[in-house]
Amino acid sequence: MLRYFIEVAYKGTHYSGFQSQHNAVSIQSTVEDAMQTVFKTDFKLTCSSRTDTGVHALQNYFHFDTEIELNLKQIYNLNAVLSRDIVIKNIVQVDGESHARFSATYREYKYYITRNRNPFLTETTWFYPYNLDIELLQQAANILMEYEDFTSFSKRNTQVKTFICNLIVSKWYYENECLVYHVKSNRFLRGMVRGLVGTMLQVGRGIINLEDFRKIIEEKNCTKANFSTPPTGLFLMEVTYPEEVLSIRW
Active site residues: 52
Per-residue b/e over 12-25, b at no fewer than 16 CB within 10 Å?
A: beebbbbbbeeeee
Could you tell me the CA-to-CA distances from 174 to 56, 169, 184 in Å, in that order? 19, 16, 17
Contacts of 19 (CB under 8 A, 6+ apart): 26, 27, 28, 47, 50
- Picking from 153, 142, 155, 137, the residue whose alpha carbon sits closest to that of residue 201 is 137
| DSSP assignment string, 98-162 | --TTTT--EEEEEEEEESS--TTSTTTSEE--S---HHHHHHHHHHHTT--B-GGGS-SS---S-
For 157, other C-beta atoms within 10 Å of its C-beta total 6
CA 140 – CA 213 distance, rounded (Å): 7
HSE-CB at 79 with a 13 A cutoff on CA atoms is 17
